[in-house]
Amino acid sequence: MEFGTPLMEGARRILLLGSGELGKEMAIESQRLGVEVVAVDRYDMAPAMHVAHRRYVINMMDGKAIKAIVRREVPDAVIAEIEAINTDALVELEEEGFRVVPNARAVKVCMNRVELRRLAAEKLGLPTTKYYVAESPSDVERACKDLGYPCLIKPEMSSSGHGHVIIKSRDGVEEGFRRAVEHARGASRKVIVEEFVEIDREFTALTYRHRVGNSIETRTLTPIEHQRPKGVFHYVESWHPPTANESVLKTAKEMAIKVVDELGGLGIYGVELILTRDGRLLFSEVAPRPHDTGLVTLVSTDINEFQIHVRAALGFQIPEVKLVTPAASHVIIADNEGYAPRFIGIEEALAIPGVQVRLFGKPSTYRGRRMGVVLAVGDTVNEARERARLAASKIKVITH
């Protein structure tokens, strides 16, 4: 495969639909390979835009805008970096011959909890939490009756825990359904009602499809492990390698490969799995892209998840990915709304051995927004976790 020079005739080009922190790392990796980068998002100066050759600010649900940009830029790969994208435009672009990564159908299925559940649980027979699809409070009530309280409602379309509502008793059904639907992306009134499980720990099985000669192969990394503090719906820390026993990890890998093979295409997927306190390993959902908990691979593996995704998107073969050191990641979160945030404690954090800091460059903050991440290596996972936690505790996001 011939490689040109960025901004010149013959340049290889990737186009990122969504330009957050995951896109930023993909952009940096592309830059290193001399690949031209086009970053698209709904707001200006999103993380990947800081390191892209060109940028576009559009409403990501506007299919016409997406198609206009892709047709003008003619990228070698269109990488879906967020869920909130007009997926019909991706389907059309794929039919025109553009390479959508991993593929348009996978992006469409993964953003829809109902479709994804049906595929994983009913078509592939993977174990999941017990669930029902509901479209009204009375549907929810019927589901809860069978599942028992507490149970959990999630909108058909949403991410980062938006619209998740725990229903504690029959009295909470009406209000819970209203809140879930209100926080959904789009107009759907469909929700999933799930049994609420006690979580021991969670895994992300990074699983990729890459070209090997004339065929495509699927491989999976040793899963990343993570735990969320009670009541927190976003990832706080992750570590690699995992500490779970071999038989759990083996099953996790098999489940991940099964679902990723079904979704197809090229590139990496983050397959989310839950290990319950009563010992069940359950498929939860899958992101058709690098995963936020996988930021730890920036230090834990010889080829990180962003390199894997970019290389696979360009049609490269990827050698076996090796774990090089125990490592951990810990998020840096804003606790206020503001513009032009500042950070204190960076020097103190970086004075800790084995620690690196990534600040994403987001121009504004809101309560709970992820602004950066601490990465740490250590002789053991515990040492790496301690270092990451300590470093993150030194850093504060200041907004005025």
Ligand X SMILES: Nc1ncnc2c1ncn2[C@@H]1O[C@H](COP(=O)(O)OP(=O)(O)OP(=O)(O)O)[C@@H](O)[C@H]1O
**What amino acid positions are annotated as catalytic residues?**
159, 161, 272, 285, 292-293, 370
Instruction: Give the rounded distance of the alpha carbon of 160 from its chain centre.
Output: 9
Question: C-beta of 398: minimal distance to ligand X in Å?
Answer: 26
Q: Looking at 1-9, 50-58, 270-278, 363-371, which segment touches Mg ion (CB under 5 A)?
A: 270-278
Question: C-beta of 154: minimal distance to Mg ion in Å?
Answer: 10
Our CB check for ligand X shows the closer of 3 and 233 to be: 233
d(CA 158, CA 183): 7
Among 202, 225, 237, 305, binds ligand X (CB under 6 A): 202
Instruction: Give the rounded distance of the alpha carbon of 71 from its chain centre.
Output: 26
Our finding on whether 194 is near ligand X (CB under 6 A) is yes
Place of tokens 């409403």: 59
Question: C-beta of 316: minimal distance to ligand X in Å?
Answer: 28
Our CB check for ligand X shows the closer of 243 and 380 to be: 243
Residue 132 interacts, among ligand X, Mg ion, none and using kind-specific CB cut-offs from 5 to 8 Å, with none
Asked if 76 and 6 count as a contact pair (C-beta separation under 8 A), the reply is no
Question: C-beta of 249: minimal distance to ligand X in Å?
Answer: 18
Angle between the N-to-C axes of helices 137-147 and 173-182, in degrees from 0 to 180, rounded to the nearest 10 = 120
Our CB check for ligand X shows the closer of 229 and 353 to be: 229
What are the φ and ψ backbone dihedral angles of 167, each rounded to 5 degrees?
Answer: -100, 120
Secondary structure of residue 117 in the 3-state scheme: helix
Q: What is the DSSP string of 155-212?
A: ESS--TTTT-EEE-SGGGHHHHHHHHHHTSSSS---EEEEEPPPEEEEEEEEEEEEEE
Among 207, 284, 307, 365, binds ligand X (CB under 6 A): 284
Our finding on whether 395 is near ligand X (CB under 6 A) is no
Secondary structure of residue 248 in the 3-state scheme: helix
Q: What is the DSSP letter of 297?
A: H
Among 5, 59, 138, 160, binds ligand X (CB under 6 A): 160
Question: C-beta of 204: minimal distance to Mg ion in Å?
Answer: 9
Asked if 358 and 375 count as a contact pair (C-beta separation under 8 A), the reply is yes
Binding-residue pattern over the window 244 to 273 for ligand X, x denoting contact by CB under 6 A: ----------------------------x-
Residues of this chain that bind ligand X (CB under 6 A): 129, 152, 154, 158-161, 194, 196-197, 199, 202, 228, 233-234, 272, 284-285
